[in-house]
Structure 1
Amino acid sequence: MSAAKEAGMVCVGAIGGAFGVQGEVRLKSFCAEPTDIAEYGPLSTEDGKRQFTVSLTRPLKGALGARLTGIASKEEADALKGTRLYVARTRLPALPDDEFYYSDLIGLTVTDTGGEVLGKVLAVHDHGAGDLLEIRSAGGSDSFLLPFTREAVPTVDLTAGRLVVDPPEES
């Protein structure tokens, strides 16, 4: 688990490199509403050593143009390429009952409808056609993917730290 995750931080974006020569960056937002990334206050690097206040400048294809405090040149902006930006989980808005932040699902115990432990959620993948849960088997050596749908995952209990799953029948 990363230091950011242990500290209750959620990744909300990543810097794609410099945009122009004045220190502006290409910012990839992982927020449901991309422009919300600028509303969460200072964003931190994964190690927490640097913080940036974000000012959005313009929409770009697949990203946002942005200025970050303390970044004034193309070279400084390029040096941040690939840097992931985090915000404290407590600063994010509450979600409706049937929506979850990916970071809240990682590490949850996965049981089947009979109560047998199948493993733990290792990651959540979004390849565009729907979310997939990567589950590390209870044995710990391999993993499997499960669609994150109401049919396959009828119960998400964050308080108890578990998911109840009803995997589709194999054909």
Structure 2
Amino acid sequence: MGDSIIVGRLAGAFGVRGEVRLKSFCAEPEAIADYVPLTTAEGREFRQVVITGQTSGALTARIDGITSKEEADALKNTDLLAPRDRLPALPDDEFYHADLIGLPVFDTGGAALGRVKSVLNHGAGDLLEVLPPRASATVLLPFTREAVPTVDIAAGRIVADPPEGLFPG
């Protein structure tokens, strides 16, 4: 867990004047502009984001410091992070993906099932990608109240009641 949360990703140039395609991971996509300054993992800082419109699967925006198509394309697939304390507090049953990644997952009897490798969403709801101990293949665990009754961020653990046969062993 860090002091920053990924709030979006640059998706390349939009047009030839330095506008970018911007994927927002915020509940309200345009809210990404409210969380400036945004930084990259390498420490580059963007102090101003102006949303200019929408395109297929992304917003279009002007971001300070990006003035050409070449600069925008060079930053394609760059994650944008915002300070956690600038983001809204979440309701009790919602979590930032960054808080879940790396957490150990236990079954309802206390046996270790693995660690959360990533959080995926292919359109039908979130899935926790869990890497079981001593396994090379991950298991996709539906992130529902039935399959994952307890997420305890403070204690750093998840308790799962996975469907029968989902995990090896």
TM-score, normalising length from structure 1?
0.89
**Displacement of 1:135 after TM fit?**
1.0
Q: Is the 8 A contact 1:119 1:140 kept in 2?
A: no
For residue 86 of structure 1, give the secondary structure of its aligned residue in structure 2: strand
Q: What are the equivalent positions in structure 2 for 1:52-63 lying under 5 Å apart? A: 52=46, 53-63=48-58
Question: Which letter maps to 1:26?
Answer: R
Seq. identity, %: 63
Map of 1:123 onto structure 2 = 118
**Displacement of 1:140 after TM fit?**
5.0
Map of 1:51 onto structure 2 = 45
- Post-superposition Cα deviations, 1:41-96, rounded to whole Å, max 9, x if no partner, equal 11111221x11121111122211110111122222222222222111222211000
Change (3 A) 1:82 1:148: same
Map of 2:153 onto structure 1 = 158
Task: Name stretches of at least 5 consecutive residues in structure 2 with no aligned partner.
Answer: none
2:127 aligned with 1:132: yes
User: Deviating runs (4+, > 3 A) in structure 1?
Assistant: none
TM-score, normalising length from structure 2?
0.90
Map of 1:37 onto structure 2 = 32
Task: Name stretches of at least 5 consecutive residues in structure 1 with no aligned partner.
Answer: none
For residue 31 of structure 1, give the secondary structure of its aligned residue in structure 2: coil
Paired residues, what number? 165
**Displacement of 1:36 after TM fit?**
0.9
Once residues 166 and 75 of structure 1 are traced to their aligned partners in structure 2, the CA distance between those partners, rounded to angstroms, is: 49
